Amino acid sequence: METRVVFHIDFDYFYAQCEETRSPELKTKPVCVCVFSDRGGDSGAIATANYAARKYGVKSGMPISFAKKRLEGRNDAVFLPVDFDFYSEISEKAMKIMKFNADIFEYVGRDEAYLDVTKRVEGDFKKASHLAQQIKNSIREKIKLSCSIGISSNKLISKIASDYRKPDGLTVVTPDNMNEFLNPLKIRVIPGIGKKTEERFSEMGLETIQDLKKLDVFTLNKEFGRKNGAYIYNAVRGTYNEPVKEREASIQYSKISTLKKDSKDYQFLSENIIDLCKEVHGILLKNNRMFKSVGIHLIQSDLSSKSRSRMLKNPTSSLEELQKNADQLLREALENQTITIRRLGVKVTELSEVQGQSSITNYF
């Protein structure tokens, strides 16, 4: 079987780096890009911090007020509001460069993508390394951004490798040196392994990927369920067969708002969901679009978040369908809810153009 050559390209502190491209004087300062809430003041959370800010312990998701405390001694610290339109514009230019250099291009998000380059480098990892360097140079020259690239024979290891030498890293993991690369790494580098799972392994006396290889698949299944157990068993051995799939940036329409008060009361939240649906529906009508997937997003008062989504049988542009499904998702999300909700969002994806009355629900 042919060995695939897969890149994972990830931008370093993307939002803050975008801000540095239009204001180069920010490069030497601690920069925090913030999602300010509608409540005013320092209410909200950090979306991205550059490395100068991270040295002080500032992290994504941290409340802005905490970040300001951490950076108290730095009079030059900068707190900027997010500008998603600008970041999307920059992302689009970067993705064009990547796509041009890929056999198969898979968009993951504004700041990351997978590239299958097997054909153009003829399965040669040395050629792949040169190609990656060319991509990095091109992105730096044309867009003034640095990125980190991981190269291996599958998506999983490439993702781990892209994070290995951040910022501005380039890490090649050939099939021959895969175990040598993986074994000493901490368990948490495996995508999908969160804090709780890591703590559980720590209780079992397991810290590195090499330690984790001692567990057989039956123990893992018993501890984490069959699906997760099998994934962890294969991941630590670098076995991951999902190919890079052609995927463009998928447009979605969404609205999110900060609630007048933190709450977990269904009635109160439902009224807000209904209003958000109306706003999203207005955007759909304006753009002549139907949707096939509905999602809701809940940001809790501790700033952790919860999402729920569902795929519909047929595309529709019906407000009633949108409200009904969003409300149902809200009910599901609120089961056993202990923390109050601070912000609420609705989104629609899998968009298509409205052509005549192509869906029965369009009549409503």
**Residues classed as catalytic:** 112
* Beta-sheet pairing, 341-349 with 253-263: antiparallel
> What is the per-residue burial (b if ≥16 Cβ within 10 Å, else e) of 120-130?
ebeeebeebbe
For residue 48, what is the enclosing H or E element?
strand 44-49
Query: How many Cα atoms sit within 13 Å of 272 on the Cβ side?
Result: 25
How would you write 112-177 as a 3-class SS string? Answer: EEEEECCCCCCCCHHHHHHHHHHHHHHHHHHHCCCEEEEEECCHHHHHHHHCCCCCCCEEECCHHH
> Phi-psi category of 160—alpha, beta or left, where left has phi over 0 and alpha has psi -120 to 50?
alpha
What's the CA gap between 331 and 106, in Å, rounded?
A: 34
Rounded to the nearest 10 degrees, how much is the dihedral formed by the CA atoms of 22, 26, 31, 37?
A: -40
> What number of other Cβ atoms are within 10 A of residue 245's Cβ?
11
211 is in an annotated binding site: no
How far is it between the farthest Cα atoms of the chain?
Answer: 62
Q: By the 8 A CB rule, do 361 and 314 touch?
A: yes
CA-based end-to-end distance of the chain? 53
Helix spans in the chain (H): 14-22, 51-54, 64-70, 84-100, 125-143, 155-162, 178-182, 195-203, 209-212, 217-224, 226-235, 266-286, 319-334
Q: In this structure, what token pair is assigned to residue 228?
A: 């997760």
Q: For residues 347 and 280, is the Cβ–Cβ distance under 8 A?
A: yes
- Which of helix, strand or coil describes residue 319? helix
The answer to whether 12 is a known ligand-binding residue is: no
Binding residues for Mg(2+), as ranges, are: 10, 111
Annotated binding site: 10, 111
